[in-house]
Amino acid sequence: MNETLKIISNRVSLRHYDKKKISTEHMNKIIESAIEAPTAGNMVMYSIIHIQDKKTMQKLAISCDSQPFIGTASDILIFVADFNKWNNYYKNEGMYLEKGRKPKNAEMLLSFEDTMVASENAVIAGESLGIGSCYIGDILENYKYHKELLNLPEYTIPLGMLTFGYYPKDYKRIKKKRFDKKFIVFDEKYKNLDEEELKTMFKSKGKEFYNRKTNSDFMKNFENAVEQWFKNWGRE
Ligand X SMILES: Cc1cc2nc3c(=O)[nH]c(=O)nc-3n(C[C@H](O)[C@H](O)[C@H](O)COP(=O)(O)O)c2cc1C
- Shortest Å distance, C-beta 147 to ligand X: 19
Site string for ligand X, 192-231 (x = CB under 6 A): ----------------------------------------
How many Cα atoms occupy the beta-carbon half-sphere of 27 within 13 Å? Answer: 19
The answer to whether residue 136 forms part of the interface with ligand X (CB under 6 A) is: yes
Where in the chain does DSSP place strands (E)? 46-51, 75-82, 131-135, 156-166
Number of residues near ligand X (by CB under 6 A): 10
Nearest CA among 113, 83, 114 for reference residue 101: 83
Residue 176 or 203: the one with the smaller Cβ distance to ligand X is 176
Cβ distance 164 to 126 under 8 Å? yes
Residue from 13, 47, 216, 232 in contact with ligand X (CB under 6 A): 13
Name the phi and psi angles at 68, rounded to 5: -55, -30
Rg (CA), the chain: 20
The answer to whether residue 12 forms part of the interface with ligand X (CB under 6 A) is: yes
The answer to whether residue 67 forms part of the interface with ligand X (CB under 6 A) is: yes
Residue 86 or 112: the one with the smaller Cβ distance to ligand X is 112
The residue ranges that bind ligand X (CB under 6 A) are: 12-13, 15, 67, 134-138, 176
